[in-house]
Amino acid sequence: MRSLWKGSISFGLVNIPVRLYAATEDRDVHFHLLHRECRTPIRYQRFCPTCGETVPPDQVVRAYEWQRDVYVPVEDDELERLPPAAQRTIRILDFVDLSEIDPLYFDRSYYLEPMEGAERSYTLLRRAMREAGRVAVAQVAFRQKEHLASVRLYGERVLVLETMHYPDEVRDPSPLHGIQEEAEIDPRELELAHTLIERLTVRFDPGKYRDRYREALLELVARKAQGQRWELPRPQEPVGVESLLEALRESVRMAEAGAAAGARK
Amino acid sequence: MAGTTGRRVLVDGRELRFTNLDKLLWPADGIRKADLIEYYLNVAGVLLRHLEGRPLTFTRYPDGIEGESFYQKDLPQHAPAWIRVFPYQGEEHLIRFVLAADRATLAWAGNLACLEIHPAPWRLPHVDRPDRLVIDLDPAPPATFDHARRVAVMVRTLLEQLGIRGFPKTSGATGIHVFIPLVPEAGPEEVTRVAETLARLLHAARPDLITLERAVKERTGKVYVDYLQNARGKTMVAPYSPRPLPGAPVSAPFSWGELETIDPKEFTLRTMPDLLARRGDLAAGLLGPGHRLSEIAARLSGAPPPA
């Protein structure tokens, strides 16, 4: 695993240096896009419709759309001069009951690993949180944003940072149709539904669910790979510069030796 | 009407008026304008293939190679109506470039004392999409053709190592031009960049023999590899074009196998027609399938240009 970030948990007077690792990974099947004719992976270019040309990176500037068709340019150095949003710190602000946080608020999960020498304070926080049965609400700045986050125990040993949505990022469901009404329900129907739920109730075992679409897709690819494979029209391997230079020198050396021999005759 | 030398002639059904046919163009060699026109007509079968669809620039020497000269890009006034032109929007004004479609056009150019023909490195309809990359080897005195020959040996090795076809020709003076055929898709700037990478490799191998210096006086005694000849608007002298030099040399395609022994002075306005008939067009491959510039660049990607 490769750590994404280094920082520290700040908890009262204690500072716990940690590394951050992604806790989940994307297993979606990704396709590449190729030019059907020559079977070359296509490349994206940044195109300017006004100038009708590809824009090189040094010609690109960030801008905020202030209103429709009105932009405010923001330069890199202006962004750098902004007050640093809590430098590399996971600031624990409050402790709450996990059941109080609706899962809707959770965004992405990261494992926290204690850096060398921080194992003791890591253990202390972990133990205290386990015994209190609480999760920490924290704020942390990375990837151009000050995140709302929670820190909690996953399993018995590892602390997990969960980035969370701010309340204004959670959309209001009230415009949805058909959610406000409380229709008359026949008690026998309700009874039946309760029974059904009870019958289907098990311990949560995520291992038993599978993405059957993904499996079928990979199977299709594996089957096709037996017959239909497009090898990239790859030219010869790039030539190493040192061997190339040596070959050039050698060839001209021979030509010069030949010319010298011819001159002596 | 310029005296008794003015003559109305028909060339392949086109009417032309030849003037001053006795004018000595290469005075020391006794070569007259009539000889130039005759030369063009003799090599037209091959020469036209190398000019077809390419806007032409001529160097004119109305008073012979010892007199004044000028470039002719735009169609001259009083040109016959049947001369085909290609209008091209230059940086300042529209230029009506001549297209050589037939023998009559070559004869007409000969009559205007067009001693040199420079075709565009691209061919219609692929405007400004070169179908060749040129490696121009130009020895700076006291360096001679032999020095260019040595660098050409390196170019031959380089192309072999990269698996690229290239076609050499004498410049007609002391240099050598190597043309690499391209698929016409990249612009001149991209072609120039790849040519620069090739030039830097050559230079890195033998900095004592090769120079990339733009300042002429810094090049003394070395072979200048002029990758900027690939830049937009630049043209190289055509294969089989005469040069305004004593002896009336022509730019002569040769095969890589002849590199060690070739003598550029043997290829002249007088000898070329027979040599061409005997040897065939050794630059014909240049008009064949081209390499993709991206493919050449990819092969070079393991060999970044040594700074």
User: Model confidence over A31-42: pLDDT tens digits?
Assistant: 889 888 777 788
Q: Are residues A194 and A88 in the same domain?
A: no
Decide if A56 is inside a domain. Answer: no
Domain total for chain A?
A: 2
Decide if A158 is inside a domain. Answer: yes
**pLDDT grade, residue B298 (50/70/90)?**
confident
pLDDT beneath 50, residues of chain A: 264-265
Whether the pLDDT of residue B1 is over 70: the answer is no
Q: Are residues A121 and A252 in the same domain?
A: no
Q: What pLDDT does A86 receive?
A: 53
Question: From the CA of A29, how many Å to the nearest CA of chain B?
Answer: 29
Q: Are residues A19 and A98 in the same domain?
A: yes
Q: What pLDDT does A145 receive?
A: 80
Domain containing residue A191: 184-201+243-265
Q: What pLDDT does B7 receive?
A: 79
Decide if A96 is inside a domain. Answer: yes
* pTM of the predicted model as reported, rounded to 2 decimal places: 0.59
CATH of the domain at A135: 2.40.290.10
On whether any CB of chain A is under 8 Å from the CB of B164, the answer is no
Q: Which residue of B has its CA nearest to A259?
A: B260
Joined together, the tokens standing for residue B21 give: 């046919």
**pLDDT grade, residue B120 (50/70/90)?**
very high
Please report the domains of chain B, with CATH numbers, ordered by start residue: 6-119 (3.90.920.10), 132-300 (3.90.920.10)
Decide if A163 is inside a domain. Answer: yes
Q: Are residues A113 and A194 in the same domain?
A: no
Joined together, the tokens standing for residue A253 give: 């050396």
Distance of CA B78 to the CA centre of its chain: 27
Q: Are residues A14 and A115 in the same domain?
A: yes
**pLDDT grade, residue B2 (50/70/90)?**
very low
Q: Are residues A17 and A142 in the same domain?
A: yes
Q: Are residues A84 and A191 in the same domain?
A: no
Whether the pLDDT of residue B265 is over 50: the answer is yes
Mean pLDDT across B203-211: 94
Mean pLDDT across B253-264: 94
Q: Are residues A252 and A164 in the same domain?
A: no
Q: Are residues A125 and A189 in the same domain?
A: no
pLDDT tens digit sequence for B26-51 = 999 999 999 999 999 999 999 999 99
Q: What pLDDT does A262 receive?
A: 55
Q: What percent of chain B has pLDDT over 90?
A: 81
Mean pLDDT across B269-288: 93
Chain A, 201 to 220: residues with Cβ < 8 Å from chain B are none
Decide if A99 is inside a domain. Answer: yes
Chain B positions in Cβ-Cβ contact with residue A245 (cut-off 8 Å): 201, 204-205, 306
Q: Are residues A159 and A265 in the same domain?
A: no
Q: Do B302 and A238 touch (CB under 8 A)?
A: yes
Q: What pLDDT does B305 receive?
A: 47
Q: Quote the radius of gyration of chain A (alpha carbons, Å).
A: 30
3-state secondary structure of A131: helix
Decide if A65 is inside a domain. Answer: no
On whether any CB of chain A is under 8 Å from the CB of B306, the answer is yes
Q: Are residues A194 and A122 in the same domain?
A: no
Q: Are residues A109 and A137 in the same domain?
A: yes
Look up the ipTM and state it: 0.82
CA distance B11 to A89: 88
Decide if A35 is inside a domain. Answer: no
Q: Do B303 and A237 touch (CB under 8 A)?
A: no
Decide if A95 is inside a domain. Answer: yes
CB B173 within 8 A of CB B143: no
The helix (run of H) or strand (run of E) holding residue A162 is strand A158-164
